[in-house]
A and B are shown apart, each in its own frame.
Chain A
Amino acid sequence: MEHDRTIPQWETEDTPVSPARRGFLMLAAASGAAISVGRSAAAFTDVPFAAADLDDDSLIGMYRTILQIRWHERRQADEMLSNPDYRGYNHFYAGQEAVATGVCAALRNSGPREQLDLVYSSHRPSGHAIAKGVDIPKMVAEMDFRATGMNGGYGAEMHISDPDVGFIGADGMIGPAPVIASGSAFAFRARGSDQVAVVFAGDGNYAAPHFHSTLNNAKLLDLPLIYVCENNLYHQYAHYSLSCPHEDIASAAAAYGITAETVDGQDVVQVYNAAKRAVDRARAGNGPTFIEAKTYRYYNHWGAPGAKVGELGAFGYDPLAITHFRPEKELRAWMQRDPVDISRRILADWGVMDAARAAEIEDEVKAEIEAAFEWALSQPLCTPEDGLRHVFAEGTVPARQFG
């Protein structure tokens, strides 16, 4: 991946490389494992440190997370297409899994609340949520408005939230989340914490005035903020060139004096490496980072129940996309660089897992997701009167709909 010219060169010689990992790779190459030397060498060159130093469990964990996100959506899409009683909807993340996975793998996702790194998500949140470690069955229940869902059925897909894992949550609006995330980063800095705040925002967020406000203040105050711009080329139905004059949105961030880089968002290792550098920088008190991940969503802007296979592409083409919609060839070209395939191949190349183990993990994930849906869709619906709760910390507000 060519780096943007605005990106400072990394001082790779300062970076410790795990002897274990290096030794392992040398061994794998020497033993003529069932991988091409060329690909191995290329992968190694691309990944001088960071991900290459992760232990096997962490690497496999990333592969597993990517699969969880993918199969959650595949399973949910099936539900939308086949179950007339299913009511959940989603702004699908399929195709972008490596971004959430790579970033969150570099974060602190468990432990005491006051030490967790925080993630602010967008209106396309389920991938971020899963990568941050939310309880998948409870998320599935929330997305179908169940009383025992992650947020009691109050939020649904666009407002899922679980502060226990540092997932501040989804936001249905374009604009505010990055600025709010910078406020969390401000608080971390003020109280001397080494926590970092991460915001995932799409290419559509570039045009909002909040973009300027976020980056300007993050730089002025040296905030431990990581702005992950997921450039999937389209905000809703409009290509990002209609709202941004730059080919790389990262070049706009660089104008604020913020360290900015573009990464291949389909490659979890590249994303992880960029995130790791950003996290290290933020924890060390060296301020914000902007990461633009070039990526693509396979499905349409959103998916809802009642879709029919073959009609409207079943989440492909959308009737609202009157003047702008995606060329089929573009979609197919991006699918050739699928984040699941890429992560599987890298881990195979590194000798971390073989094809049999990869398939086994995928079967485990499918079973896990299946169990999540079975549990979630058997959960109770909400009690109507509970709609008057959670307005304030205590009590209920009066019913007014009866006069």
Chain B
Amino acid sequence: MAMKSWMYSVLEAVQHEMQEDPAMTWIFELTPPVASNPGRPVINLETEFGRKRVVNTGIDENWMASAVLGAGLAGSKSATYIPYQGACMPFEVIQNVAGKLRSMTGGKASMPVVWIIEMTGQTPGFGGQHSCYEEDSYYMHIPGVRTVIPSTPYDAKGLMHAAIRSPDPVVYLYPAGLRTLTEDVPDEAYEVPLDKAAVRIEGSDLTIVSSGAGMPVALEAAETLAGEGASVEVIDLRVLKEMDTETIVNSVAKTKRLLTVDQSYYTLCPGAEVIARAVENVDGVKVKRVAFPDAPPPASPEMFLWMRPGPQQVVEAARAIL
């Protein structure tokens, strides 16, 4: 156990799995699979496992995504790190091949593969294309592909172990804005399940549900509301496909108030699905949905920061239903 950064925690999991399985491969593009952490050995997958198993390509996310699928179909575990610049370029192969292949082959396809898909949207000024927090909505819509979105270094490591070991293809969303988080993370391998949300704070008046980059916002808002005397329960979805309906419903049955917080666009944001599942199962729920407007993120920090949901907007939305 030691304080570890996000990427160190993730690469520790990958390193472990690659040591265990000499067939496993890793494909990267512009981001070398290197992480360092105070007091720990540097992890460098490229030098440790060599350039037969760990390769970088040109800027070709289509190849990266397709190649790991092909490696999986050939019987090798494989993972790739697709940076935010091209996070939807592999969409076709994930949506129309991987997502449907188990079904189309009558269960015969082997797909122990992971696509780590980086998301950005935390940096004012980056402009439309380099702000892509909406990808959660796109990928969570695909049947046959598990989609996870950790929000802590602990979960990042545990979900990576689980994703690599899963027989199903996994889209592993990585909100890059969380890269600065550190926490105590065990050295040994462990799994965080691919189908369970986490209750981060328990409460009885209001349920706030968020995920990924929305989590720091939700937690900060909950702290403010707690200071005002509200008992707020905060749920971190962690898994978008398959979404953990039970944890949501149990919480909302208790609080009867639900506020969802997303950095994704309003239409079909993860919160929309959360609300649908809650009201399908619990009567008399008051709901609110905070999300990015259905507009491309403008470059201007003045416009962008006003549009991006922050703790203050969440607090005000919560007050309206408390």
Contact residues of A with B, CB < 8 Å?
A: 87, 89, 145, 147, 153-159, 171-175, 204-209, 235-238, 242-244, 320, 322-323, 381-388, 391, 397-403
Contact = CB atoms under 8 A, between A and B. Distances in A.
30 contacts: A153-B298, A153-B303, A154-B127, A154-B128, A154-B298, A159-B127, A159-B128, A171-B129, A172-B85, A175-B89, A207-B59, A207-B60, A209-B63, A235-B59, A243-B57, A322-B34, A323-B46, A384-B306, A387-B298, A391-B296, A400-B290, A401-B291, A401-B307, A401-B309, A401-B313, A402-B290, A402-B316, A402-B317, A403-B289, A403-B290
Nearest to B261: A403
B317 A403 contact: yes
A258 B218 CA distance: 56
B56 to A, nearest CB: 6
Contacts of A387: 293, 295, 298, 300, 303-304, 306-307
Contacts of A87: 125, 301
A174 B288 contact: no
B22 interface: no
B290 A401 contact: yes
Contacts of B317: 402-403
B281 interface: no
Contacts of A399: 293, 307
A175 B59 contact: yes
A155 B292 contact: no
B128 A208 contact: no
Interface string B281-322: 000000011111111101111111111111001101100100
Contacts of B308: 401
Nearest to B319: A403
Contacts of A157: 127
Interface of B: 30-32, 34, 46, 56-60, 62-63, 85-86, 89, 125-130, 259, 265-266, 288-296, 298-310, 313-314, 316-317, 320
A346 B127 CA distance: 40
Nearest to A143: B299
A237 B28 CA distance: 13
B59 A208 contact: yes
Contacts of B294: 391, 397-398, 400
A173 B57 contact: no
Contacts of B85: 172-174
Contacts of B34: 322-323
- 8 closest A-B pairs by beta carbon, nearest first, are A207-B58, A243-B58, A403-B317, A387-B303, A384-B306, A156-B299, A153-B300, A400-B266
Q: Which of A155, A158, A387 has the most CB of B within 10 A?
A: A387
Contacts of B259: 403
B62 A209 contact: yes
Nearest to B263: A401
A81 B265 CA distance: 36
B86 A382 contact: no
A67 B124 CA distance: 31
Nearest to A398: B293
Contacts of B289: 400, 403
Contacts of B266: 398, 400
B130 A172 contact: yes
A314 B37 CA distance: 25
B58 A235 contact: yes
Q: Which of B266, B289, B293 has the most CB of A within 10 A?
A: B293
Q: Tell me which of B34, B56, B265, B303 has the highest count of chain A C-beta atoms within 10 A of its own C-beta.
A: B303
A206 B58 contact: yes
Contacts of A403: 259, 288-290, 313-314, 316-317, 320
A233 to B, nearest CB: 14
Given A159-B129, A400-B266, A145 B57 contact: no
A89 B89 CA distance: 25
Most buried by A among B294, B298, B314: B298
Given A381-B300, A402-B313, A156 B125 contact: yes
A399 B266 CA distance: 9
B301 to A, nearest CB: 6
B90 to A, nearest CB: 11
B127 A400 contact: no
A83 B96 CA distance: 49
Contacts of B309: 401
Contacts of B302: 145, 153, 381-384
Given A173-B129, A401-B291, 4 more contacts: A154-B300, A204-B58, A243-B58, A382-B298
Nearest to B88: A173
Contacts of A174: 59, 85-86
Contact of B300 (A171, A323, A382, A400): A382
